[in-house]
Amino acid sequence: MRVKCMMCGKEEELSKLHKDYKKLAANPAAAFICKTCSLKVTNQAQKGNDVLKKK
Ligand SMILES: [Zn+2]
Protein backbone atom coordinates (compact mmCIF):
# COMPACT_ATOMS: atom_id res chain seq x y z
CA MET A 1 0.00 0.00 0.00
CA ARG A 2 1.33 3.40 -1.01
CA VAL A 3 0.96 6.20 1.53
CA LYS A 4 2.02 9.84 1.60
CA CYS A 5 3.59 11.51 4.61
CA MET A 6 1.42 14.42 5.69
CA MET A 7 4.46 16.44 6.79
CA CYS A 8 7.05 16.14 3.99
CA GLY A 9 4.86 14.66 1.25
CA LYS A 10 7.21 11.74 0.71
CA GLU A 11 5.53 8.59 -0.56
CA GLU A 12 6.29 5.34 1.15
CA GLU A 13 5.41 1.72 0.59
CA LEU A 14 3.67 0.43 3.68
CA SER A 15 3.91 -3.30 4.34
CA LYS A 16 1.22 -5.27 6.10
CA LEU A 17 3.63 -5.58 9.02
CA HIS A 18 3.72 -1.83 9.59
CA LYS A 19 2.03 -0.81 12.82
CA ASP A 20 -0.15 1.75 11.05
CA TYR A 21 -1.12 -0.49 8.14
CA LYS A 22 -4.47 -1.59 9.56
CA LYS A 23 -5.41 1.94 10.52
CA LEU A 24 -4.56 3.34 7.09
CA ALA A 25 -6.11 0.42 5.23
CA ALA A 26 -9.35 0.99 7.12
CA ASN A 27 -9.19 4.74 6.67
CA PRO A 28 -6.98 5.94 3.79
CA ALA A 29 -7.60 9.54 4.87
CA ALA A 30 -5.93 8.90 8.23
CA ALA A 31 -2.76 10.86 8.81
CA PHE A 32 0.49 9.10 8.00
CA ILE A 33 3.84 10.46 9.18
CA CYS A 34 7.03 8.85 7.90
CA LYS A 35 9.77 7.66 10.24
CA THR A 36 11.98 10.67 9.52
CA CYS A 37 9.26 13.16 10.35
CA SER A 38 8.01 11.32 13.41
CA LEU A 39 11.58 11.32 14.74
CA LYS A 40 11.80 15.06 14.07
CA VAL A 41 8.54 15.67 15.89
CA THR A 42 9.69 13.59 18.86
CA ASN A 43 13.01 15.45 19.05
CA GLN A 44 11.30 18.80 18.85
CA ALA A 45 8.85 17.86 21.55
CA GLN A 46 11.72 16.77 23.77
CA LYS A 47 13.59 20.02 23.13
CA GLY A 48 10.46 21.94 24.03
CA ASN A 49 10.21 20.05 27.29
CA ASP A 50 13.86 20.82 28.09
CA VAL A 51 13.28 24.53 27.54
CA LEU A 52 10.26 24.45 29.81
CA LYS A 53 12.22 22.65 32.52
CA LYS A 54 15.02 25.21 32.45
CA LYS A 55 12.62 28.06 32.96
ZN1 LIG B 1 7.78 12.75 6.23
pLDDT tens for each residue of the chain, 55 residues long = 999 999 999 999 999 999 889 999 999 889 999 999 999 999 988 888 887 777 6
- Predicted TM-score of the model (pTM): 0.70
Looking at the 3D structure of the chain, how many domains does it have?
1
CA of 54 to the centre of ligand 1 (A): 30
**What pLDDT, on the 0 to 100 scale, is given for residue 6?**
93
CA of 14 to the centre of ligand 1 (A): 13
**What pLDDT, on the 0 to 100 scale, is given for residue 55?**
64
* Residues, Cβ < 5 Å to ion ligand 1: 5, 7-8, 10, 34, 37
CA of 5 to the centre of ligand 1 (A): 5
- Residue 21 and residue 52: Cα distance in Å, rounded? 35
Q: Which of 3, 55, 2, 1 is nearest to 32 (CA)?
A: 3
User: Domain of 46?
Assistant: 2-54
Largest CA distance in the chain: 45
CA of 55 to the centre of ligand 1 (A): 31
